[in-house]
A = this chain, B = another copy of it.
Amino acid sequence: MTDKTHDANPSRRQFLAGAAAVGAGAVAGGSASAATPDPLITQVQDWASGLGDGVDATPYGLPIQYESDVVRRNVEWLTADTISSINFTPIHALDGTITPQGCAFERHHSGAIELRKEDYRLMINGLVDTPLVFTYADLERFPRENRVYFCECAANSGMEWAGAQLNGAQFTHGMIHNMQYSGVSLRTLLEEAGVKPEGKWVYVEGADASSNGRSIPLEKAMDDVLVAFKANGEALRKEHGYPVRLVVPGWEGNMWVKWLRRVEVMDQPVESREETSKYTDTLANGVSRKWTWEMDAKSVVTSPSPQAPITHGPGPLVITGLAWSGRGAIAGVDVSLDGGKNWQEARLAAPGTDKALTRFYLDINWDGSEMLLQSRARDTSGYVQPTKAQLREVRGLNSIYHNNAIQTWWVKANGEAENVEVS
């Protein structure tokens, strides 16, 4: 934290002065006058005079009914059907960095399949000394690792290339989740099979009908890729690849093959559908960029935002959001209240870790006037998140994927927010 941050923070005395309603008003019942006692304080409530649910009520718990809006959402007009489609993590309503599996975004190419552990097989073949097939029980016998990583779809924010279109952080930036994975290093399994000297790539595919085949350079496959069977401590959900998915840290989500069934060692890439006609960016001159695996540093303010408006008047306001980089850890995040003219350094909830989400906060004393809210991520490689204009200058307007530009929310004086572009 720099001194800049401290300048931005209201001191405690300011806080009290700015939010007098916090004390005096609330004692009298929120915005009610001090003359009206708050029955929630002065009277014994039902929940304090009766019994609640027993410990046998929900062997596996779900969110409380009042949080029923904090769910994955899909956008019907984006895709022709829901089987080969996407939905979005409700990042506008979450805090911290861990994404619960139940509301972590999905992207399927032929739907989420149901595959029992007993029916699961993983083949390693191609340029190896010994082709191998592992059962799920086999995988459990190899040394395991635990790591927290973000997974971002390459198409996240894709609709924004052509201008502000989707009104909410969930829809503009919600094709991302961040979980703690437990599994076996892919390197361990490849070494078990023995990679031949001419092996330079692996081709990975899933057990679903799409198979979603992708080529990965051997160097990455032998680095930090995980063959994962748990996320946030428990089994992968069906929609996240139960019982086994690939985790390819920092690289685009399409490579994180679900229901992983085969890893073939090859001397060259396959150049499959998913890495040629899809998941590549066509530049202004008609040439497409090749092998754009790493997700560049990016960030977004999750609150306030169009789905999370400010619901109070001037005074203390928590601005918060997420930042990430596929090239390393987040080194810092800057926030602008005026569309990028001035920047102040946000507070990171914890030091950034490699290829994982970082939560940032900026605590301000809001004067009640409109803002053009932006955040700008910096990573440990020295890379700084670009503006939309900078990105378009290099990439043109044909792209769908890999939009990591700075996002702008126009927060109005009434607290509502809109997705806008600033020149």
- From A95, which residue of chain B is reached at the shortest CB distance? B182
Residues A234 and B100 in contact, CB atoms below 8 Å apart: yes
A46, B56: Cα distance in complex, Å = 37
A100, B54: Cα distance in complex, Å = 19
| A66-121 residues at the B interface, CB under 8 angstroms | 66-67, 70-74, 81-83, 85-87, 93-104, 106-108, 110-117, 119, 121
A86, B63: Cα distance in complex, Å = 20
A48, B193: Cα distance in complex, Å = 25
A23, B111: Cα distance in complex, Å = 30
Which of A9-17, A269-277, A292-300, A330-338 contacts the other chain?
A9-17
Residues of chain B within 8 A (CB-CB) of A102 are: 58, 60-62, 102
Residues B97 and A233 in contact, CB atoms below 8 Å apart: yes
Which of A37-45, A371-379, A389-397, A399-407 contacts the other chain?
A37-45
Residues of chain B within 8 A (CB-CB) of A135 are: 26, 30
Closest CB in chain B relative to A361 CB, distance in Å: 6
- Interchain CB contact (< 8 A) of A117 among B49, B66, B208: B66
Q: How many copies does the complex hold?
A: 2
From A65, A117, A180, A361, residue with most partner B Cβ within 10 Å: A180
- From A26, which residue of chain B is reached at the shortest CB distance? B133
A19, B40: Cα distance in complex, Å = 64
Residues of chain B within 8 A (CB-CB) of A137 are: 311-312
A259, B64: Cα distance in complex, Å = 13
Residues of chain B within 8 A (CB-CB) of A113 are: 47, 52
Residues of chain B within 8 A (CB-CB) of A71 are: 59-60
A66, B15: Cα distance in complex, Å = 51
Residues B121 and A38 in contact, CB atoms below 8 Å apart: yes
Residues of chain B within 8 A (CB-CB) of A93 are: 234
A9, B188: Cα distance in complex, Å = 13
Q: B-facing mask of A256-283, CB < 8 A → 1, else 0?
A: 0001000000000000000000000000
Closest CB in chain B relative to A85 CB, distance in Å: 5
Q: Is A198 an interface residue (CB 8 A)?
A: no
Residues of chain B within 8 A (CB-CB) of A207 are: 45, 47-48
A230, B64: Cα distance in complex, Å = 13
Residues A114 and B234 in contact, CB atoms below 8 Å apart: no
Closest CB in chain B relative to A148 CB, distance in Å: 9
Residues A23 and B60 in contact, CB atoms below 8 Å apart: no
Interface residues on A, range: 35 or more
Residues of chain B within 8 A (CB-CB) of A238 are: 53, 61, 64
Residues B54 and A83 in contact, CB atoms below 8 Å apart: yes
Q: Is A223 an interface residue (CB 8 A)?
A: no
A317, B143: Cα distance in complex, Å = 9
A239, B123: Cα distance in complex, Å = 43
Residues A134 and B22 in contact, CB atoms below 8 Å apart: yes
Q: Is A144 an interface residue (CB 8 A)?
A: yes
- Interchain CB contact (< 8 A) of A146 among B48, B99, B359: B359
| A139-197 residues at the B interface, CB under 8 angstroms | 140-147, 180-182, 188, 191-193
Residues of chain B within 8 A (CB-CB) of A60 are: 62-63, 70-72, 102-103
- From A259, which residue of chain B is reached at the shortest CB distance? B47
A82, B99: Cα distance in complex, Å = 31
From A135, A233, A242, A317, residue with most partner B Cβ within 10 Å: A233
Q: Is A57 an interface residue (CB 8 A)?
A: yes
Residues of chain B within 8 A (CB-CB) of A121 are: 26, 38, 40-41
Closest CB in chain B relative to A384 CB, distance in Å: 24
A131 and B316 in contact, given A64-B238, A112-B52, A209-B49 (Cβ under 8 angstroms): no
- Interchain CB contact (< 8 A) of A54 among B30, B62, B85: B85
Q: Is A318 an interface residue (CB 8 A)?
A: yes
Question: What would 13 A/B residue contacts be, using CB atoms closer than 8 Å?
Answer: A15-B192, A38-B121, A55-B74, A56-B82, A70-B234, A93-B234, A96-B182, A97-B180, A98-B233, A137-B311, A141-B315, A144-B349, A144-B361
